[in-house]
Amino acid sequence: MSNPKEYKLQAFSALLDVLDELRVKCPWDAKQTNESLRPNTIEEAFELADALMHDDDTASLKKELGDVLLHIIFYAKIADEKAQFDIADVCDALREKLIFRHPHVFGNTKVNGTDEVLQNWEQLKLKEKGGNKTVLSGVPNSLPSLIKAFRIQEKAANVGFDWETPEQVWDKVKEEIAEVEAEIKSGNKTNLEKEFGDLIFSIVNAARLYKVHPDNALESTNAKFIFRFNYVEAEAHRQGKKLNEMTLAEMDSLWEQAKAKE
């Protein structure tokens, strides 16, 4: 292929043509609105997130990327019909934003590593027209709590509100554990929930400081638990037993077998 960029532009143009035709000729596509598409968009985003955890499955990843791309161009199409903006405006705005937020690439700013890039990024977001009015205003309220905690901490850190060294966070984690234990003894359920929240928030902070994304880490553990538990359940069934009739020791034995198979 002599010109890969031209081929990509042609493919994108052909996709836009298909959506234009669907919007006119397909009853389902014709009646969609921002509001009706929103739940599907959320579902597609989570399906893409699942595929990204198995990026060796390139067919699934390509499919899910396409599904998300469809929603992006669909929203732009709806806006175009309302004479608000079109997909070209979306691309232009994104291009301008990327250039503005990367002065170390497109300007004369000097940076020393990714940490300084991220710090500059947050400062530039506060300066740009229509950008965030406060440091934390760019964190969507609808984010899942674990990811939201990480983004809150990350944004605060990018303006200097952070521990001086990662090791310092462990005193905070230990403090929060002690406060949870104290509330368990007190029997105050409302305070216990708050203290568990503080503990989880501190663990998320620790993960961030050690360059681990807590959502990826937890999802990896979820997948590991599901594999092991499914093995225990299947093996119990093969032996003609029900899980609720087995002893914990019996289930632990099967659990160790599952671990050996990973």
Q: Please tell me the predicted confidence (pLDDT) of residue 129.
A: 61
Instruction: Give the integer Cα–Cα distance in Å for 138 and 97.
Output: 15
Among candidates 189, 207, 99, 118, which has minimal Cα distance to 160?
118
Q: Which two tokens stand for residue 122?
A: 């947050």
Phi and psi based region of residue 109 (left: phi greater than 0; alpha: psi -120 to 50; beta: remaining): beta
**Residue 119: its pLDDT value, please?**
75
CB 179 within 8 A of CB 198: yes
The count of C-alpha atoms lying within 13 angstroms of the C-alpha of 68, restricted to the half-sphere facing its C-beta, is: 16
% the chain with pLDDT above 70: 97
pLDDT tens for each residue of 123-164: 777 776 666 678 898 888 888 999 999 999 999 998 889 999
Residue keyed to tokens 């399906």: 47
Per-residue pLDDT band at 251 (split at 50, 70, 90): very high
Residue 164 has a pLDDT of: 93
CA distance 222 to 108: 45
Out of 2-11, 39-48, 125-134, the most confident range is: 39-48
> What does the pLDDT read at residue 161?
93
Task: Tell me the per-residue pLDDT of 61-84, one tens digit each, with 9 for 90 and over.
Answer: 999 999 999 999 999 999 999 999
Task: Give me the pLDDT at residue 47, please.
Answer: 94
Nearest to 63 by CA among 76, 75, 52, 78: 52
Cβ-contact 235, 217 below 8 angstroms: no
* Residues shown for the chain: 262
Q: Single out the residue of 51, 85, 87 nearest to residue 66, CA to CA.
A: 51
Contacts for 95-102 with beta carbons within 8 Å, 24 or more apart? 97/128, 100/124, 100/128, 101/125, 101/128
pTM of the model: 0.69
